[in-house]
Chain A
Amino acid sequence: MAQDSGTRTLISSAQLRRGRGRFLYWTLLTVVVVGFTLVFLGPLYWMVTGALKSGQEIAQTPPSLFPKDPQPQNYIDAWNNLDLAKLLFNTFYYAAGAVVFQLVLDTAAAYSLSKLRPVFGNVILALMLATLMIPAMVLIVPQYVTVIDLPILHINLLDSPFAIWLPLVANAFNIFLLKRFFDSIPEELMAAALVDGATPLRTLWSIILPMSRPILGVVSIFAVTAVWKDFLWPKLVMPAPETRTVSVGIYAFAGGTPMNVVIAASVIAAIPTVIIFLIFQRNIMSGLTTGSLKG
């Protein structure tokens, strides 16, 4: 990164430029680059090429490094049989919705708790933060029976994206991060806005939010990751094949699909995310750095 040259880290740059330090530095760097490539890229190579192998070749001892008789058909089968387009669309749709819902509702809540401070605000905050200690697994059964028959309304959210979006809004960690960030915005700015006759919503929109981009970025990243990584919850609340996420879809098909095809599907499923990450990785990193995650 650009600022590296100026930042002093654990070991000074000067030390690394001199004799022994320099030798050690380059040796270590080479070892790490080679090692990491093997550890993190190696399996992915194995995955891409493994999906090209025939069923016979996979079972061969010792395993072959290159597919001898590449079978691109595995990829085509994976795309068609698993309906990957649909699975990917679902996953991105759920992720996008999760970002929107969390940004809107959690930001509003954090703003209220930080700046508007209505009565009982602290009690509500405490109750929210208390849920931080409750892992999802503990609530999975009662949450599930709640979703299939919402209290009072008696609505069934099974196979509806809201079954993914709304529970994610109840995320105390996000509200905590946002509130802490908003707390750091000087009260004077708020007071000044008020003198100008701005409403709270106006103040939020034109003063607070523009200053909060990094933290909003962080919350968005967390929202997307949560949807991408979650498995059991979408598996339970999206039982229909048309509403599955990628991870659940691949699992559901794995039992009845040859393993080359399962792996081919995994490769295809990873491509869009990898591209998105490569495009946004700078923003993600700077979001994490300047966001609220300072130690």
Chain B
Amino acid sequence: MAITTVPGTTRKPGRPTPSYPGPQRTGLGRKVRDNLTGHAFLIGAVLCFLVFSWYPMIRGIVMSFQRTRRGETTWVGWDNYSRIIADPSFWPAWQNTLYFTVLALVLGYAAPFFVAILLNEFRHAKGYLRILVYLPVMLPPASALYLFKFYAYDPSEAGLFNAILKALHLPTSQWMQSPEMTMPAMVLASTWMNMGGAVLIYLASLQNIPGELYEAAELDGAGIWKRIRHVTIPQTRLILALLAMIQIVATMQLFIEPLILANGAGAEDSATSVAYLIYQHGFFQNDLNGAAALGVLMLVVLAGFSAAYLRLSAKQD
């Protein structure tokens, strides 16, 4: 299914038939040997996929129907699923994760694109601005989050954000201690620390847009917004689609932000994410099977989501 995830990215190979061995390719022995060579090159990566990706995939599904107690594993049917769904944090976790994903799409996804367009127009200070945007990416993620937790989101008036708000005579906020602000605050921190990578990628793709297209559009009387709409966006559509996909998959796995900013669950479960719940079950509550079941549920949701995405992008083509 995933071959078509990124529509149009696969360049059609020149010829479908194996072309490398060329004209003198004759005889069965040769063919076998060539195939062996091909597989010899493949085997390292294939083994890694096998052990660390394909096998765990199946193992996860199997585990989700088993329970290991005192070193003994038994089949328990849907027990793990009913236990995990009965977990009081189950629905809040999904709600929070989806909310975060949507917020991150609005803020974290659009922001880098427009920042890149802006930076691409500047004839000066370009290198400086580019480095600035990328600086937070270079902090270890835990560090960046502690920076927010200790300084920016301090709920007292000693906190940076509250000090600024107070100086502007605006109401201060409890930040991570307020269930309403928890998610927006996490999206803000997450966008700040991650957007640099996306900006660089967009900048790279903007530089590959042929200038003639803009010229032609301008001659047709298209203003700036029209040019963005009809030239910039279509020309970078592929990258936009790819990064949208990557970002959604990434935000669905929201973990380190609640772990550090909210010490886990936050105020009344307002920060609990699905990934955090997996971690909580697997490594706090000694329930790896329940955690595996939650992982499978996450997979199902994402698969449903990708199917919808594929259908949408197929329609557009």
Contacts and interface: CB of A to CB of B under 8 A. Distances in A.
Interface of A: 1, 4, 7-13, 16, 28-29, 32-33, 36-37, 39-41, 43-44, 46-47, 50, 58-63, 91, 104-106, 108-109, 111-119, 121, 124-147, 150-151, 166-167, 169-170, 172, 175-176, 180, 183-184, 187, 190-191, 194-195, 200, 225, 228-229, 231-232, 236, 245-248, 250-251, 254, 259, 262-263, 265-267, 269-270, 273-274, 277-278, 281, 284-285, 288-289, 291, 293-295
Contacts, number: 363
B204 A288 contact: yes
B291 to A, nearest CB: 5
A250 B66 CA distance: 36
24 contacts: A8-B211, A10-B232, A11-B121, A32-B122, A62-B167, A91-B140, A105-B44, A108-B42, A109-B42, A117-B18, A124-B42, A125-B3, A128-B45, A133-B1, A137-B253, A137-B255, A140-B295, A144-B288, A247-B143, A251-B259, A251-B260, A259-B146, A270-B143, A273-B138
Interface residues of B, number: 128
Given A135-B249, A170-B53, A281-B131, A115 B20 contact: yes
A132 B232 contact: no
A270 B133 contact: no
Contacts of A36: 129, 132-133
Given A195-B22, A295-B236, A166 B299 contact: no
A62 B55 CA distance: 55
Contacts of A132: 2, 5
A274 B22 contact: no
B239 interface: yes
B79 interface: no
A142 B48 contact: no
A46 B147 contact: yes
B136 interface: yes
DSSP class of B's interface residues: helix, strand, loop or mixed?
A: helix
B277 to A, nearest CB: 10
Looking at A104, A195, A251, A263, the one whose CB has the most chain B CB atoms below 10 A away is A251
B53 A263 contact: no
B10 to A, nearest CB: 7
A281 B125 contact: no
A61 B237 CA distance: 48
B296 interface: yes
B119 to A, nearest CB: 8
Contact of B51 (A166, A180, A228, A254): A166
B147 A9 contact: no
Looking at B5, B42, B235, B303, the one whose CB has the most chain A CB atoms below 10 A away is B42
Can you list the 3 inter-chain pairs with the closest CB atoms, starting with the nearest?
A8-B211, A118-B38, A266-B143
B233 to A, nearest CB: 10
A44 B136 CA distance: 8
A166 B48 contact: yes
A105 B52 CA distance: 14
B144 to A, nearest CB: 8
A104 B1 CA distance: 27
Interface string B1-35: 11101000111011100111110000000000011
Nearest to A228: B140
A10 B123 CA distance: 12
